Amino acid sequence: MGKEVGILCHLTSLPNGKISDGDKFLQYLKDNNYSKWQFLPLTPPDKHKSPYASPSAFAGHYGICSSDVIGDLSDEDYWLEDWALFATITEHYPGKNWTQWPEKLRNRDPDALAKWREKISPEIRRQGIFQHEWLAMKARANGQGIELIGDLPIFISHHSADVWANPELFQLDENGLPTVVAGVPPDYFSDTGQKWNTVLYNWAEHEKTNWRWWKERMARMLRLFDVVRIDHFRGFHSAWAVPREAEDGVIGQWQEAPKEKIVKALVDVAGDESRIIAEDLGIIPQEVIDLRLQFNLRGMAILQFGFGKDCDKSPHHPSNINSMQIVYTGTHDNDTLLGWWESSNDVIKANVRSITGNSEDIVGSMINVAKECAAPMCIIPLQDILRLDSSGRMNVPGVEQGNWLWRFAWSDLN
């Protein structure tokens, strides 16, 4: 029996999409013996509402706030001013990438930035409100025995405060534009791969700073969450580099990354490897698994991936899931369990039935399978608890429009 059971439900999926909804949801979690609450990134989303292409690796999403109490920001100095400047200038030049700003602002001329600092106090205030409201809810969650799991996207948007303030840390050309962008080759989710348009790192420059930016980023996450899921952990081993002008992720090449050096730096910041979950899904060579295990990090197993052809060999099949994995029925990128089941072929259904029997509640049976396998923790999307079909899906990878919108109603939890 899995030791801990948690729920995956992004904050914007709560009825009002606000932190203020958190206490009522925490009561639901406590009443049903869930000890973990996992979120998608809480940084500001992009224009498509995606939290995975944020204009900041550090800032909080003020849109989920509803109070006016300002919290202490004394630990946030290293990113806060750059973000406030960036956000304020972006607001002044809507629709323009930072490379299209006036030259002095684009190149961070000291005199030009000094003038803009007179305008940033409202954004500083917004970040203080986020800080107070979020940490207050986190304290109440922890007081009820519930830990919060955050999500750290390995890549960030080109139009971001981080790239504007630290261009040397990224692979950019002389005009400040990406030479290549991140993505993945064709896989389970897409026959044409995915082109994310997020920037790739200049790892040599990061190493010169002794991984400062990354250490600060992980430290920030660990102030906001009890456990951090590193999205696309594979990117610390190698990353799929796609030409900037390519239409999809088919054309690209793998670029080497720092491997042990960067992972050790992050584990050292965490102080305890149990505070990190390494998302190791997709096309994963054994070297990536070995890198994860070298640092005693838990990976991920997704039940929806475990019942295809030759499923007995799949690391996602219940019989193969082990104590160094966290098991999920699905993630924010998967269909719901019911939607997956309704669209599955006869081979998958037969393989599932070989374990669940002829259960009429196939979703409930799969949730029980997740709870009973060897993983020390299982995480279940709320949509699966609610037995929702594909209408409850959060995201379809590779599709820009119409994602990240799902919300439940309080009455759904009855």
| Catalytic sites, residue numbers | 231, 279, 333
Give the contacts of 192 (CB within 8 A, at least 6 positions apart). 186, 248, 249, 250, 398
Computed over its alpha carbons, how large is the radius of gyration of the chain?
21
Distance CA 148, CA 16 (A): 19
Distance CA 383, CA 407 (A): 10
56, 162 Cβ separation under 8 angstroms = yes
Distance of CA 46 to CAs 54, 58, 156, Å?
5, 14, 11
Distance CA 336, CA 356 (A): 18
Read off the DSSP letter of residue 248.
Answer: S
Distance CA 96, CA 90 (A): 7
Using DSSP, state whether 229 is helix, strand or coil.
strand
Of 163, 278, 145, 300, nearest to 218 (Cα)? 278
Distance CA 308, CA 347 (A): 7
